[in-house]
Amino acid sequence: MEEEADYYFNEEDLLVFTASYHLKRGNCCKNECKHCPWNYGRPKNTDSETKNNKTS
CA distances to 1, 17, 20, 35, 50 from 14, in Å: 16, 10, 18, 14, 32
Q: What is the pLDDT of residue 16?
A: 96
CA atoms within 13 A on the CB side of 50: 5
- pLDDT digit string, tens, across residues 7-50: 999 999 999 999 999 999 999 999 999 999 999 988 887 665 55
54 strand-pairing partners:
none
How many residues are given for the chain? 56
> For the chain, how many structural domains are there in total?
1
Question: Who has greater pLDDT, 52 or 19?
Answer: 19
Q: Is residue 38 part of a domain?
A: yes
Q: What is the pLDDT of residue 56?
A: 47
Helix or strand (DSSP H, E) at 8:
strand 7-9
Q: Is residue 2 part of a domain?
A: no
Q: Is residue 21 part of a domain?
A: yes
Q: Is residue 1 part of a domain?
A: no
What residues make up the domain containing 35? 7-55
Q: What is the pLDDT of residue 45?
A: 74
Q: What is the pLDDT of residue 10?
A: 96
Q: Is the pLDDT of residue 55 over 60?
A: no
